[in-house]
Amino acid sequence: MKVLVFVVFVAVAGFATGAFAQSSTLAMTCAQARGIVASQGAVVLRTGPTTYDRYVRDGSFCALQETARPAWVRTADSAQCPVGGVCRSAGFSD
């Protein structure tokens, strides 16, 4: 039983790491990054070796007291790719 639990844990950890590693905007074109956000609605993307954020298609993916603010990320082919937005509290000011 312990072996089975360990095997399942390793498989899940490997899958999660692989999925997260593939979502780096630095390895995508702007069109790919925009497409992922548009198709998923809300997705966490890595924007650098140690940075990430949750990007949304529109405000319907934010909490009640939040709004979607425009967001740009660096991609393989663009220094400022408009991927959608990030959710911030309605009183938040940049």
The pLDDT tens digits of the residues spanning 10-68 come to: 444 444 444 444 589 999 999 999 999 999 999 999 999 999 999 999 999 999 999 99
The rounded Cα 58 to chain-centroid distance in angstroms is 14
Q: Distances in Å between the alpha carbon of 92 and those of 34, 50, 65, 68?
A: 24, 24, 10, 11
CA atoms lying within 13 Å on the CB side of residue 4: 1
**Cα(16)–Cα(48) distance, integer angstroms:** 18
**Statement: residue 92 has pLDDT above 60:** no
Q: Is 2 helix (H, G, I), strand (E, B) or coil?
A: helix
**Statement: residue 7 has pLDDT above 80:** no
Please state the pTM of the whole predicted model: 0.73
Looking at residue 36, its pLDDT comes to 97
Mean pLDDT for 73-83 is 97
Looking at residue 31, its pLDDT comes to 98
